Chains A and B, each alone.
Chain A
Amino acid sequence: MRYIEPHAHMVSRTTDDYESMRLAGCAAICEPAFWAGFDRSSAAGFYDYFCQLTDYEPKRAAKFGLPHYCWLCINPKESEDMTLAREVIAVIPEFLKRETVLGIGEIGLNKNTRNELAILEEHIDLAARHDQMILVHTPHLEDKFKGTRLILDVLKADARINPERVIIDHVEEHTVGMVLDAGFWAGITLYPESKATPARAIDMVEQAGMRNIWLNCACDWGRSEPLAVPRTALEMSRRGYSAETIDALVYGNPLRFLSQNPRFRLA
């Protein structure tokens, strides 16, 4: 089988994970900027992180024949400090010129605060001014439903944003419908506890349709599984899906979305 991992935080993973993903059929990895598990104290910390994402990490992936792409932003967990957030946003345009940058992400909300919303709007404005695609993080657990509604309101209020070039990630049963109905792509994240399991992900695809959905593992420093997408492909096979249908979901769909940026190429 072959698949694309459209959302993985490889800076938190070992080199062995690259090898395992490649052996499982991974054809490319995309890495959105995220929270490192601690707050960075300055924009200089983010500058170094963006260098890591655009320089070091692609080289590490290339050792296993894997193209590595990234998305840039200051994540919502650190957006509560608006001064820092604005300093980081000011740094991003310089990095948008780099060949492996696909767009702005993962932006969004965490605790659904006014400051987070203001910085989300400024990220969306940045994306619009630079004609960038957008990858959106929706909040965790009890905050997801409210946050997804707020995010959709902000995106729909900006007439410059084409929903077909925006993916709203980490949807679950109570948010997938509103995302797809608004014309956006939806991402289902496969986590052992806090998001979707393979079985629930397939249930959602069966009920919502698979046209504009991608699956991702979002593996990071927490409990997560780098091979969650191929494991879900295996689960689809157990349900009797054909190899062609599985391929369309785990390879064709992310390829279709990501190829809207001509920089995205497979090896």
Chain B
Amino acid sequence: MTRQQVLDLYFMDARCKLIELAAFLDRVDRSEGEADFRFAAIQDALPLLQSSELGKARAVLMALSDPTSEPLAAAPGKGACGAWPGPSL
């Protein structure tokens, strides 16, 4: 597809998601409570969107991933939350 075709097909969808993200950031800012590693992970990932290089989706996924390579001694639970809490949690 040409750039024009990509924009014609996906601009409104991307615009919608961008505003949803902005509203989410406002919602968190309006709320009270302790710092949370999930929100910090999103804040750390946001600058990656400004890159002019290809691979922004991969870079964001990597920013939210466990970068370690050693298996855990035991499962901390069954679920995943979407961001790596760090080695101490």
Contact = CB atoms under 8 A, between A and B. Distances in A.
A208 to B, nearest CB: 11
Given A174-B62, A174-B65, A117 B80 contact: no
Interface residues of A, number: 31
B31 interface: no
Identify the interface centre among A143, A203, A240: most chain B CB within 10 Å of its CB. A143
Interface string B29-67: 000000000000000000000000001011001101111
Contacts of A144: 61, 65
Interface string B54-89: 010110011011111101111111111111100000
Given A139-B80, A140-B80, A200-B57, A145 B66 contact: yes
A184 B10 CA distance: 32
B66 A146 contact: yes
Interface string A201-239: 001000000000000000000000000000000000011
Identify the interface centre among B55, B71, B73: most chain A CB within 10 Å of its CB: B71
A25 B62 CA distance: 36
Interface string A107-143: 0001111111100000000000000000000011111
B76 A142 contact: no
A116 to B, nearest CB: 7
A145 B84 CA distance: 11
B22 interface: no
A240 B6 CA distance: 11
A149 interface: yes
Nearest to A172: B61
Given A141-B80, A146-B67, A173-B57, A80 B72 contact: no
Given A146-B66, A146-B67, A149-B69, A111 B61 contact: no
Contact of A146 (B57, B68, B76): B68
A181 B89 CA distance: 33
A182 B1 CA distance: 30
A199 interface: yes
5 contacts: A111-B75, A143-B80, A144-B65, A146-B67, A150-B71
Interface of B: 1, 5, 9-10, 13, 55, 57-58, 61-62, 64-69, 71-84
* Smallest CB-CB A-B distances: 3 pairs: A141-B80, A140-B80, A145-B65
